[in-house]
Amino acid sequence: MGTIPIVDIHTHTIPQSFVDEVRRDSGRHGYSIRRRANGLEELITPDWPTDAPPEKDLGQEVVQKRTDEAFRQREMRAARIDVSVEGILPPLMSYGGDPTQAEWGARAINDGLAANCAAFPQNVHGMAHVPLQSPELAAKELTRVVERYGFRAVQIGANVRGENLDVRELDPFWDAAQSLGVLVFVHPEHPSGLLRLRKYWLVNLVGNPLETTIAGACLIFGGVLERYPRLNVCLAHAGGYTPWIQGRWRHGAEVRPETKERGATGGFDQYFRRLYFDTVIHDPRTLRFLIDSVGSDRVLHGTDYAADMGDWTQVPTIRGMAGLSESDKTDVLGANALRLMGRAV
């Protein structure tokens, strides 16, 4: 067995070939490129209003660190990262849009991700995007990219149009994810309680971790992990508040009948142990608590590149953690992710 590569399980892109396809489509499917008042281009999705003035920033900036894969890979090499598992920028998930338009967008995005993989086959793996507002279409698109491109992961939002991930309408997607053996990466988007989170960037600092926490709770108490015993799920941003509140959840599972009303009849730890967590927590002491709390076999190195809330300088920190075995460090930095995606380690 050779050296295990360093894997980044949490990185976001806007594939250049997707941007090119949006330009060619000229808005027929609801996706468009427009120029802001400051001269930057932004990508608009079907569920965002297109009649807002250009000084109102609605879309996602089309900039080099998001679209230029050669530039991105140079950044990864500088950060000592060998493999990027790339997913779409979360605001482009477009769950609020028309399902037919969202299906077109998902196909174009995934074809763009596949182009990045083809250009850098040793360094880029694709993380599929699916139109989850239509679980049947989501299952169809996931099957397509797994069979055609060999993708071994899929990114989904922590809610779908405000619905939690335990609603039974999502079962066609969960069926496909389990049967195809892909890793499901849950990333927050459109968090709850926006009225109280408008100031101080709380929508990200508080709302995003809360949204991921709600998703984790619903997967456990909503019976999703019980119904799908082979499903592998990773929660973004170190699971939000999930690892730190597990004791309260465990106690609630013991004393509250409501925790079992959706079919989660097994012991709490049986389900909690099924979850994986990335390392985007921005504090070495807290990261060490995460590893000690859930186990080094459940933690995956992730950076959230190229977001301003990301951190792609973690490799030396993890390498230098005292008291953590070299095997544990190897698991966190790459081996766990490769195993989950069925790649050789």
pLDDT digits (tens, 9 = 90+) for 76-124: 999 999 999 999 999 999 998 899 999 999 999 999 999 999 999 999 9
pTM: 0.95
Report pLDDT digits (tens) over 247-274.
999 999 999 988 887 766 778 999 999 9
**Phi (first) and psi of residue 160, to 5 degrees:** -125, 105
Give CA–CA dist 196/264, Å, rounded: 32
Determine the Cα–Cα distance for residues 69 and 331; give it in Å rounded to an integer.
26
CA distance 251 to 289: 20
Q: Encoding tokens for residue 140?
A: 């169809």
pLDDT given at position 1: 44
pLDDT at 282 over 80: yes
Q: What is the mean pLDDT of the chain?
A: 93
Give yes or no for residue 287 having a pLDDT over 50. yes
Q: What tokens appear for 296 in the block?
A: 């080094």
- Asked whether the predicted pLDDT for residue 16 surpasses 60, the reply is yes
For 189-244, what is each residue's pLDDT tens digit? 988 777 889 899 999 999 999 999 999 999 999 999 999 999 999 999 999 999 99
pLDDT for position 262: 73
Q: Among 168-182, 251-265, 277-291, where is mean pLDDT lowest?
A: 251-265
Average pLDDT of span 307-316: 94
Regarding predicted confidence, which is higher, 62 or 278? 278
Q: Is the pLDDT of residue 163 over 90?
A: yes
Confidence of residue 50 (pLDDT cuts 50, 70, 90): low
**Binning pLDDT at 50, 70 and 90, where does residue 344 land?**
low
53-67 tens-digit pLDDT: 554 556 788 899 999
Q: Where are the alpha helices (DSSP H) in the chain?
A: 16-25, 64-67, 69-78, 99-119, 135-149, 171-180, 202, 208-221, 224-227, 246-255, 268-272, 284-294, 314-319, 326-330, 336-340
User: Which residue has better confidence, 38 or 87?
Assistant: 87
The conformation of residue 39, written as its DSSP 8-state character, comes to S
pLDDT score, position 298: 98
Q: What pLDDT was estimated at residue 168? A: 96
Percent residues over pLDDT 90 in the chain: 83
The Cα 44–Cα 170 span in angstroms is 26
pLDDT at res. 40: 86
Q: Could you give the CA distance from residue 318 to residue 338 in angstroms, rounded to a whole number?
A: 18
> What pLDDT, on the 0 to 100 scale, is given for residue 101?
95
- Overall average pLDDT of the 173-195 stretch: 93
